[in-house]
Amino acid sequence: MTTIQFAKGLLNGKPSVLLFEAIRDPGEHPVPFAGPTVIYVYNLTTSDGTPGWTPSYFHFVKKIPVPGTFCSSDTALKAATGLPLSADAGPAPSADGCLH
């Protein structure tokens, strides 16, 4: 239902550490049926030094609705970003991650 993946890349032309969170909304489409997925992108940011805050945190960058429906948030993340599946995800059974 949820996948989290870290990546290094460029954000606005600057080297960044990114966090991708893909959430498959089961809503009316419980597992094993395909449902909509949204990806949230965060950037590792340095705090301004305010007491009580951590030195670094992941700042929200944007929300990306993934076109189509998926049974697997891993597969949706790969389809939307091109990031490889995590090593523990195993091979996707199909393009939408569903068992057909």
Checking if the pLDDT of 88 tops 80, the result is no
Strand partners, 57: 45
The answer, yes or no, to whether residue 11 has pLDDT greater than 70, is yes
The pLDDT tens digits of the residues spanning 39-48 come to 999 999 998 8
Which of 79, 83, 97, 73 has the alpha carbon at shortest distance from 3? 73
Task: Tell me what pLDDT residue 100 has.
Answer: 67
Q: Is the dihedral of CA 85, 86, 89, 90 positive or negative?
A: positive
Chain segment 46-87, per-residue pLDDT in tens: 988 788 888 899 999 999 999 999 888 888 999 999 888 777
**Who has greater pLDDT, 27 or 18?**
18
